[in-house]
Amino acid sequence: MSKIQATFERLRAQRRKVLIPFITAGDPDPALTVPLMHALVEAGSDIIELGVPFSDPMADGPTVQRASERALAKGVSLRKVLGMVANFRADNNETPVVLMGYANPIEAMGVEEFAAAAFDAGVDGVLVVDYSPQESGEFAKAMQANALDPIFLLAPTSTPERVAEVAALASGYVYYVSLKGVTGSSALDVKAVTARIPELRAALGVPVGVGFGIRDAKTAGAVARAADAVVVGSRIIEEIESSTAEDVCARVRDLVIELREGIDDAMMPACAGEC
Amino acid sequence: MVAPSYDLPDARGHFGPYGGIFVAETLIPALEELRAAYAEALKDPAFIAEFEYDLKHYVGRPSPVYHAKRWSEQLGGAQIYLKREDLNHTGAHKVNNCIGQAILARRMGKKRVIAETGAGQHGVATATVAARYGMECVVYMGSEDIRRQAANVYRMKLLGATVVPVESGSKTLKDAMNEAMRDWVTNVSETFYIIGTVAGPHPYPMMVRNFQAVVGKEAIGQMQEHCGRHPDAVIACVGGGSNAMGIFHPYIPVESVRLIGVEAAGDGLETGRHAASLNAGRPGVLHGNRTYLLQDENGQIIETHSISAGLDYPGVGPEHSWLKDSGRAEYATITDMEALAAFHTLCRMEGIIPALESSHALAYAAKLAPTLPKDKVLLVNLSGRGDKDIHTVAEKSGIKF
């Protein structure tokens, strides 16, 4: 069983939902990434999505773009991101780490070489934003051959045929993009998002995480009632942007504690309907 | 003489290993809707008729093929013929594709069109057809390009378009394309994205090529009239590569015709300041397709340089990548200085002010012609006129208005 799958099963047994924060590796500084990852875990995160910076992040809004630019300006590359994961693993061998990024840095390294290096570093899953299922048969094979879960995106606009294509390749979980738009948008319709989740979960056979546009504990809680996992990215990066090197870990920890409480409160039996 | 039929891309948009669909899931349904709508339109005689009507009466097609006799004589070798896309309405080949996509957008019920632009030529062409068909138009343009191309920005505004400055990344064409994609993914139900070149996810490279193929189709008949035969070589500049794909495509099965694409060598390939993806790049994934890219060892896209903003792009259409690997086309390079020299020569010898983009193709023809006998024939795609470039050229010559 993969570490990601085990995490979902453990939380399901506790009747809790999985919290997945996203940060960009190397933002605001490469030296702060591993401490930030530990802060995320201390605050109650279950899986960490670590963004691999790319020069042309087409699917990201301005917040994640800026994070990517800051990281690139400090010389962060895919190989350096793998080094950060390995450093994190020196003190944490439990929390799954999912790399999220774009195809070109991986292809520049070579898919096979990347898969082996990611496994060695302690990566658990990889989400390549611009690898659609029809272009990623070989990639998914290379991931699974190295015990890595290939994570795919689905969207409100995805047809049943697309869902079936993803179901054939996906393991770990599927990331359901909750709105039309880029990361960091603010137009999440909780009802519309949650309505589709049972159907997706049944068709996919893996847990469904929801992200894009989740900006506070209340929304996180509302989404958690229906989804298996809640992904929060841009909101955390905003916190990083407005922090100093001294207080960034504490501020991110406080924010994630709030999100964690929002999710856990929403799952309390008394709260199941209204809160 | 004629090779087996050429029918790329395949059903999923691949030209050999290149092309394809590399976008976030949110865009997949929009691309499928576009693919289906385009396939249906191709079967509708009314769509074809409207496209052809507008090309004839609005753009002024067919554009002539002109024998540059004085220049050919001066060079003392092969005869040079020019396909005069510079005489089109809006001054370049770009408008052919914009009309095709705008008519398609209207059929699909989209009331808003968006575009990316570098030098502003595709933005102007898109703003023009949006005005012509009564559509809202938003053009994304890098803030650095806005500064360099103030006249085209004003043209777009005169035509009723909104020009949105892009401040991310290198603030040039590639970043404008990223931003247009972001707009499209957000407003996908009412918006049509008019991509200006033969790049992007399937079906764009195929669709843009097909709309631009009118250039090559006309040229085949026109060269027959002029010379009673095919040219020995067809030469076109390549940034994204739409004018080149347009004139190459009908010639691909005609094996006797050399196809020569000319990339921008900027300050020279050895300086690293250039935009020659096919000559100095390696395959990767950007803007929805797999193709040759200028990138660093970590797979980050690098900034490009060319005197011609229209060639200043780190990628290239995936079909060119395939034509290069398969050997059907050759890709040469021309520096800024060589292109400038050809620009001045054409002004003085033929009374034609060419675009700096097209000047790269002209410069290569000027190198090749003297090496060939006088009965050989070169056809150069004069893809645009140079009015937009006079400030750049004046600046290079140390002249102030």
Name the catalytic one among A27, A46, A60, A149: A60
| CB-based contact B24 A129, cutoff 8 Å | yes
Phi/psi at B35 (nearest 5 deg)? -60, -45
pLDDT at B397: 85
| B166 → chain A, closest CA residue | A62
* The two structure tokens encoding residue A30: 């490469």
Query: How far is the CA of B345 from the CAs of A80, B339, B350, B399, in angstroms?
Result: 51, 10, 8, 18
Instruction: Give the residue among A218, A146, A234 at the shortest CA–CA distance from A186.
Output: A234
pLDDT at B2: 44
ipTM of the complex: 0.94
Residues 204-263 of chain B with CB under 8 A from chain A are none
Q: Say yes or no: B284 contacts chain A, CB-CB below 8 A.
A: yes
Chain B residues lying within 8 Å of A110, measured CB to CB: none
CA–CA distance, B191 with B181 (Å, rounded to integer): 11
CA–CA distance, B260 with A155 (Å, rounded to integer): 42
CA–chain centroid gap for A90, Å, is 21
For residue B263, give every residue at least 6 positions away whose Cβ sits within 8 Å of its Cβ, in sequence order, or none: B237, B238, B239, B274, B275, B276, B277, B278, B279, B311, B316, B331, B332, B333, B334, B360
Over 60: is that where the pLDDT of A272 sits?
Answer: no
Chain B residues lying within 8 Å of A138, measured CB to CB: none
pLDDT at B399: 86
Tell me which residue in B22, B288, B300 faces A55 most closely, judged by beta carbons. B300
Q: Please tell me the distance in Å from B113's CA to the nearest CA on chain A.
A: 17
The enclosing H or E element of B69 equals helix B69-75
| A66 → chain B, closest CA residue | B168
Tell me which residue in B21, B29, B187 faces A134 most closely, judged by beta carbons. B21
Q: Is B69 considered catalytic here?
A: no
Give me the domains of chain A, ranges plus CATH numbers: 3-266 (3.20.20.70)
pLDDT at A270: 61
Name the catalytic one among A49, A149, A228, A264: A49
| CB-based contact A159 B12, cutoff 8 Å | no
Q: Say yes or no: B301 contacts chain A, CB-CB below 8 A.
A: yes
CA–CA distance, B312 with A225 (Å, rounded to integer): 49
Interface with B, mutate which of A114, A129, A130, A134 (most B CBs under 10 A): A130
| CB-based contact B22 A79, cutoff 8 Å | no
Q: Is A216 considered catalytic here?
A: no
Q: Say yes or no: B36 contacts chain A, CB-CB below 8 A.
A: no
| B301 → chain A, closest CA residue | A55
Among all chains, which residue has been given the structure tokens 């499209």?
Answer: B184
| CB-based contact B20 A154, cutoff 8 Å | no
Q: Is B174 considered catalytic here?
A: no
Tell me which residue in A104, A105, A180 faces B185 most closely, judged by beta carbons. A180
Could you report the per-residue pLDDT of B6-54, keeping only the tens digit for each?
899 999 999 999 999 999 998 998 999 999 999 999 999 999 999 999 9
| A153 → chain B, closest CA residue | B25
Q: Say yes or no: A75 contacts chain B, CB-CB below 8 A.
A: no
Interface with B, mutate which of A54, A56, A193 (most B CBs under 10 A): A56
Count other Cβ atoms within 10 Å, centred on residue B186.
16
pLDDT at B4: 57
| DSSP output for B116-183 | EESSSHHHHHHHHHHHHHT-EEEEEEEHHHHHHTHHHHHHHHHTTPEEEEE-STTSSHHHHHHHHHHH
Which residue ranges in chain B fall short of pLDDT 70? Answer: 1-4
CA–chain centroid gap for A271, Å, is 26
Could you report the per-residue pLDDT of B110-143, keeping only the tens digit for each?
999 999 998 899 999 999 999 999 999 999 999 9
pLDDT at A271: 53
**DSSP letter assigned to residue A124:** -
Instruction: Give the residue among A258, A221, A218 at the shortest CA–CA distance from A236.
Output: A258
| A73 → chain B, closest CA residue | B169
